[in-house]
Amino acid sequence: MVKDAFYFIIPLAALAVAAYLFDFLVLAGILMALAAFVAFFFRNPDRTITDDPTAIVSPADGKVIIVEPGEEGTQLSIFLSVFDVHVNRAPIAGVVRSVVHHSGQFRLAWDERASVDNERVVIKIDGEHSLTLALVAGLVARRIIPWKKEGETVRIGERLALIRFGSRVDMLIPKSAEVRVKKGDRVRAGSTVLANWRQRL
């Protein structure tokens, strides 16, 4: 479980105990249920990471909502509901070249305008290849917490950041990679291969 969970669980549990002591049993039950949900939300499971050097793995758990080829590559977006794991992972190995925060709104995460209008953190990783991903806040998500700083090295599938309570992740998969997923697919951070770099001739 992510340590951020305790910032929510401890107050909820304390209020639940107080409610129980004052015989507000229904309220105590609701507060304990909320504490249990927070613990569930902030789970941080281990994942089996591929050893395929050509792989680009999913940075997030969730549902693929956009796979849209364009001139510069394929726009790929993953929606995370409040029931998905919200620990984000590095899609490739390399050096974290930049971590840039953009202030913005809090539209529903599946709204196409969220990619441009919403609060987000854009992370660029440079390795044998380069890749940029945007961690986007949604209507409920109000904080994005990068765990890696500029200049730090990451392994493929390594824990990278946390988005609290529902969000999306946007990526531009370069034309030098072949996308392996389609709209509607469910993906898992670190485990699902989204694309493979094409072999150089």
Each residue's pLDDT tens digit, 101-143: 887 665 555 556 656 666 789 999 999 999 999 998 766 555 7
Same-domain status, 156 and 107: yes
Q: Residue 53 is which amino acid?
A: P
For residues 153 and 5, what is the distance between their CA atoms, to the nearest angstrom? 26
Can you tell me whether residue 196 is helix, strand or coil?
A: strand
- 47 in a structural domain: no
User: How would you class 189 by CB atoms within 10 Å of its CB: exposed for 0-12, middle for 13-18, buried for 19 or more?
Assistant: buried
The boundaries of the domain holding residue 28 are: 3-41
Same-domain status, 9 and 87: no
The total of structural domains in the chain comes to: 2
- 46 in a structural domain: no
Q: What local confidence, expressed as pLDDT, does residue 142 receive?
A: 58
> What pTM, to 2 d.p., does this model score?
0.84
Q: Is the pLDDT of residue 48 over 90?
A: yes
% of the chain surpassing 90 pLDDT: 64
- 127 in a structural domain: yes
Does an H or E element contain 15, and which? helix 6-21
Residues 6+ apart with CB under 8 A from 153: 93, 94, 95, 96
Average pLDDT over residues 139-154: 82
Q: Is the pLDDT of residue 145 over 90?
A: no
Same-domain status, 35 and 82: no
Retrieve residue 75's tokens.
């726009």
CATH, residue 89? 2.70.70.10
Same-domain status, 7 and 71: no
Same-domain status, 83 and 168: yes
- 48 in a structural domain: no
Same-domain status, 36 and 84: no
- 144 in a structural domain: yes
- 50 in a structural domain: no
Can you tell me whether residue 32 is helix, strand or coil?
A: helix
Rg of the chain in Å (alpha carbons):
18
Q: What local confidence, expressed as pLDDT, does residue 167 receive?
A: 82
Q: Is the pLDDT of residue 146 over 70?
A: yes
Same-domain status, 78 and 32: no
Q: What local confidence, expressed as pLDDT, does residue 114 receive?
A: 57
Pairing of strands 159-163, 120-126: unpaired
- 27 in a structural domain: yes
Same-domain status, 90 and 167: yes
Residues annotated catalytic, as ranges? 167
Secondary structure letter of residue 128 according to DSSP: S
